[in-house]
Amino acid sequence: MYKVIILPLAKKDIRKSFNWYEQQKKGLGVRFNTNLRNIIYFIQQNPTSFNIKFDDVRIAVMYVFPYLILYRIDERKKSIYIYAVFHTSQDSKIWESR
Protein backbone atom coordinates (compact mmCIF):
# COMPACT_ATOMS: atom_id res chain seq x y z
CA MET A 1 0.00 0.00 0.00
CA TYR A 2 1.12 3.54 -0.74
CA LYS A 3 1.82 6.09 1.95
CA VAL A 4 -0.17 9.34 1.54
CA ILE A 5 1.59 12.60 2.32
CA ILE A 6 -0.54 15.74 2.35
CA LEU A 7 1.77 18.68 1.80
CA PRO A 8 1.40 21.82 3.97
CA LEU A 9 -0.28 23.98 1.32
CA ALA A 10 -2.81 21.21 0.62
CA LYS A 11 -3.52 21.00 4.36
CA LYS A 12 -4.15 24.73 4.30
CA ASP A 13 -6.56 24.25 1.38
CA ILE A 14 -8.42 21.60 3.36
CA ARG A 15 -8.69 23.72 6.52
CA LYS A 16 -9.90 26.73 4.53
CA SER A 17 -12.56 24.65 2.75
CA PHE A 18 -13.64 22.94 5.96
CA ASN A 19 -14.06 26.29 7.73
CA TRP A 20 -16.00 27.79 4.81
CA TYR A 21 -18.43 24.87 4.71
CA GLU A 22 -18.88 24.92 8.48
CA GLN A 23 -19.78 28.61 8.29
CA GLN A 24 -22.40 27.83 5.65
CA LYS A 25 -24.03 25.08 7.66
CA LYS A 26 -22.96 23.31 10.85
CA GLY A 27 -21.75 19.80 10.01
CA LEU A 28 -21.17 20.50 6.32
CA GLY A 29 -17.42 20.86 6.89
CA VAL A 30 -17.41 17.46 8.57
CA ARG A 31 -19.20 16.04 5.55
CA PHE A 32 -16.58 17.66 3.29
CA ASN A 33 -13.76 16.07 5.32
CA THR A 34 -15.44 12.67 5.26
CA ASN A 35 -15.83 12.82 1.49
CA LEU A 36 -12.22 13.94 1.16
CA ARG A 37 -10.95 11.09 3.36
CA ASN A 38 -12.92 8.59 1.30
CA ILE A 39 -11.44 9.75 -1.99
CA ILE A 40 -7.92 9.88 -0.52
CA TYR A 41 -8.37 6.31 0.69
CA PHE A 42 -9.48 5.34 -2.82
CA ILE A 43 -6.40 7.05 -4.28
CA GLN A 44 -4.21 5.19 -1.79
CA GLN A 45 -5.68 1.85 -2.89
CA ASN A 46 -5.79 2.73 -6.62
CA PRO A 47 -3.20 5.46 -7.26
CA THR A 48 -3.16 5.18 -11.06
CA SER A 49 -6.93 5.18 -11.53
CA PHE A 50 -7.06 8.93 -12.20
CA ASN A 51 -5.67 10.49 -15.35
CA ILE A 52 -2.46 12.47 -15.61
CA LYS A 53 -3.30 16.05 -16.51
CA PHE A 54 -0.10 18.10 -16.11
CA ASP A 55 3.35 16.53 -16.38
CA ASP A 56 3.00 13.73 -13.83
CA VAL A 57 0.21 15.33 -11.78
CA ARG A 58 -3.00 13.34 -11.49
CA ILE A 59 -6.36 14.88 -10.70
CA ALA A 60 -9.07 13.18 -8.66
CA VAL A 61 -12.54 14.68 -8.63
CA MET A 62 -14.52 14.77 -5.41
CA TYR A 63 -18.01 13.52 -6.15
CA VAL A 64 -20.13 15.45 -3.66
CA PHE A 65 -18.18 18.71 -3.50
CA PRO A 66 -16.78 20.68 -6.47
CA TYR A 67 -13.14 20.09 -5.58
CA LEU A 68 -10.12 18.56 -7.26
CA ILE A 69 -7.29 16.70 -5.54
CA LEU A 70 -3.96 17.06 -7.28
CA TYR A 71 -1.34 14.45 -6.52
CA ARG A 72 1.82 12.76 -7.71
CA ILE A 73 2.93 9.18 -7.27
CA ASP A 74 6.47 8.29 -6.28
CA GLU A 75 6.78 4.63 -7.23
CA ARG A 76 10.26 4.34 -5.77
CA LYS A 77 9.09 5.44 -2.32
CA LYS A 78 5.59 3.95 -2.71
CA SER A 79 4.22 7.36 -1.73
CA ILE A 80 1.47 9.64 -2.93
CA TYR A 81 2.01 13.38 -2.50
CA ILE A 82 -1.10 15.56 -2.39
CA TYR A 83 -0.20 19.04 -3.62
CA ALA A 84 -3.55 20.78 -3.65
CA VAL A 85 -7.23 20.44 -2.83
CA PHE A 86 -8.98 23.24 -4.62
CA HIS A 87 -12.39 24.36 -5.79
CA THR A 88 -13.07 23.83 -9.47
CA SER A 89 -13.80 27.53 -9.98
CA GLN A 90 -10.26 28.51 -8.93
CA ASP A 91 -7.58 29.31 -11.49
CA SER A 92 -5.26 26.32 -11.96
CA LYS A 93 -2.24 28.65 -11.95
CA ILE A 94 -2.66 28.91 -8.16
CA TRP A 95 -1.51 25.35 -7.57
CA GLU A 96 0.94 25.14 -10.46
CA SER A 97 3.41 27.27 -8.50
CA ARG A 98 3.47 24.60 -5.79
Residues of the domain holding 52: 3-88
The per-residue pLDDT for 91 is: 62
Contacts of 27 (CB under 8 A, 6+ apart): none
The per-residue pLDDT for 1 is: 87
Domain count, the chain: 1
Mean pLDDT of 42-52: 96
Query: pLDDT tens-digit profile of 76-86?
Result: 999 999 999 99
Q: What is the pTM (predicted TM-score) of this model?
A: 0.89
**How do strand 3-6 and strand 79-87 relate by DSSP bridges?**
parallel
Do residues 81 and 7 touch, judged by C-beta distance below 8 A?
A: yes
Among 90, 87, 95, smallest CA distance to 53 is for 95
% of the chain residues with pLDDT over 70: 91
DSSP three-state, residue 59: strand
For residue 95, tell me if it sits in a domain.
no
The per-residue pLDDT for 50 is: 96
For residue 27, tell me if it sits in a domain.
yes
Whole-number mean pLDDT of the chain? 92
CATH assignment at residue 51: 3.30.2310.20
